[in-house]
Amino acid sequence: MAIILSSNLLIDQYQSKLVTADEAVKIVKSGDWVQYGEFVMQPKELDVALARRVGELEDVKIRCVTVTMIPEVVKADPERKHFRFNDWHFSGFSRAMQAQNLCNYIPVTYHEAKKLIEEFVEIDVAFILVAPMNSNGYFNLGTSNSITSYVIEKAKKVVVEVNTSVPVCLGGNAESVHISDVDYVVESVQNQKLLNLPETTIIDTDREIASVVMGMMEDGCCLQLGIGAMPNVVGSMIAESDLKNLGVHTEMLVDSFVDMHESGRVNGKMKTIDKGKMAYTFAMGTDKLYDFLDNNPVCASYPVHYTNDPFIIAQNDKVFAINNAIEVDLFSQVASEAVGSRQISGTGGQLDFMFAAFRSKGGKGLICLSSTKTLKDGTVASRIRPTLSPGTIVTIPRTINYYVVTEYGVALMKGRTTWQRAEELINVAHPDFRDELIKEAEKMKIWVRTNKLEA
């Protein structure tokens, strides 16, 4: 009888908070800070409804994490007079908006997000996409745990947009919000499917770099893979390899982790914490990944202050952090998020995992990039440069950089002098640029002429 009563009370709470999207967005006032859900968990119908209020509002500041669509509030206000959009981690959509001065980046060291939001960020209203409420009164946060629980705790008003397409992603921790902590419930009319990332174009260089990485892999290592073609190729190669007893403690869960698990490469038996679990803070991929996540107890969704804390990550042995970069200079500084003043992505968890990999017993932090890039005018340029492009933001300082990998091999940075770092990096640069890099290193007084490069 008590169970029925409890259920009825939950239903009553739900019905009392159920409103349309147009009714829910009336709580937004001019000058408010509004937080949207993260990654593929962005609210769709609340965004549309808020855009309809464009003429009524001024100076509404909106935050998101890796916007996966052009928001309707941005389309409704192309001169940015009413809505000011901001992103914690840039996507292609963010870059397109930034090019028109319609979006700004918010710098963040990802594992610090909890304290940052608790102490330094104002949130008046939160719009959060969720799975339908369960029999215990909880809405699952789906594929994006990340900062969402902090947002819910900090926001003055919380509105959930219920979508039946959202997979139930088990914890871990903080993977759900209770009806008692929600101010309004909006039921999606369209129940739009979560975004499926397009298939990544893979080139021969990606495979060559991945092959170098595979030569460094060991049985029992604990994996973190970043976004992009090359990490996905590594995942595919692992799935087809004879590696054993791999673990997963990552920021982002992608499709290749499904392949690695189903092939038997990943079982988490050698992990120190979350043994047997694939720990992650957000997931982005295709329906293959979302279907795999749904009510799957092998996956553990955690907030980012857990998954990305270097001191927590490093409790696992053999942490292998595999990430992309845009440029590396001869001082061994890494640019992974910007070229000049143009923001490309964000710091994300790359710094967190590079730091953790060094602390981990037997760990390796790999910064991977092709040796060259082709510019818009068709000329080929080296990604290993004397110095970073003017104005470029440093993502990984030289003191944290560990290994740099190109299709030409591996360069170790730890414990190396400036001339040793330059030598190591020139050795993995494209041969066509090595002489030029040597000359520039000499000018900068970080090269000793008697040093001999590998043939």
Question: pLDDT at position 455, please?
Answer: 46
CATH number of the domain within which 211 lies: 3.40.1080.20
Do residues 143 and 280 share a domain? no
Do residues 160 and 287 share a domain? no
CB atoms within 10 A of CB 422: 28
The string of DSSP codes covering 263-315 is: TTSB--TT-SSSTT-EEESEE-S-HHHHHHHTT-TTEEE-BHHHHT-HHHHTT
In the predicted model, is pLDDT for residue 3 greater than 80? no
Do residues 107 and 254 share a domain? no
CA distance 55 to 438: 59
Q: Which residues are catalytic?
A: 251
CB atoms within 10 A of CB 244: 14
pLDDT, tens digit (0-9, with 9 covering 90-100), for 119-152: 999 999 999 999 999 999 999 999 999 999 999 9
pLDDT, tens digit (0-9, with 9 covering 90-100), for 351-395: 999 999 999 999 999 999 999 999 999 999 999 999 999 999 999
Do residues 85 and 127 share a domain? yes
Question: pLDDT at position 227, please?
Answer: 78
Inside any domain, residue 197: no
Mean pLDDT of the residues in the chain: 95
In the predicted model, is pLDDT for residue 170 greater than 60? yes
Q: Is the dihedral of CA 331, 231, 336, 283 positive or negative?
A: negative
Averaged pLDDT for residues 299-319 = 98
Inside any domain, residue 138: yes
Q: What domain range includes position 307?
A: 204-443
* Model confidence, pTM: 0.95
Inside any domain, residue 449: no
CA distance 387 to 417: 17
- Within 13 Å of residue 361, how many CA atoms lie on the same side as its CB? 7
Do residues 98 and 135 share a domain? yes
Do residues 336 and 406 share a domain? yes
Do residues 150 and 226 share a domain? no
Q: Indicate the number of domains in the chain.
A: 2
Q: Is the dihedral of CA 155, 161, 165, 171 positive or negative?
A: positive
Do residues 27 and 132 share a domain? yes
Do residues 265 and 335 share a domain? yes
